[in-house]
Amino acid sequence: MAKNLKLKAARALKDMSQKELAEKIGVSRQTMNAIESGDYNPTIKLCIAICKALDTTLDELFWEE
């Protein structure tokens, strides 16, 4: 699985650390790191929570061409 650079960029735009985003959506920082590095495929529920926290859409963060 590829790294999720779109997620990392969106988090950076909000000036949020992995830990801050993880706490906001109720997962560990390690889980957030695994999602960004492509080692973990989040559930749709988790994807939606991430999008809400970062004020973005599923397409913008998770759609792959």
Residue 11 sits in a domain whose CATH number is 1.10.260.40
Number of domains composing the chain: 1
Q: What is the pLDDT of residues 30-60, one digit of tens each?
A: 999 999 999 999 999 999 999 999 999 999 9
Q: Is residue 65 part of a domain?
A: no
Q: Which domain holds residue 14?
A: 5-60
Structure tokens at 6: 């779109």
CB count within 10 Å of CB 62 equals 19
At 4, give phi and psi (nearest 5°): -95, 85
Q: For residue 56, which amino acid is it?
A: T
Place of tokens 């889980």: 31
Residue 27 belongs to some domain of the structure: yes
* DSSP code for 13: H
Is 12 contained in some domain?
yes
Q: Give this prediction's pTM.
A: 0.90
User: Rounded mean pLDDT of 4-33?
Assistant: 96
* Structural domain contains residue 48: yes
- Indicate the DSSP class of residue 2: -
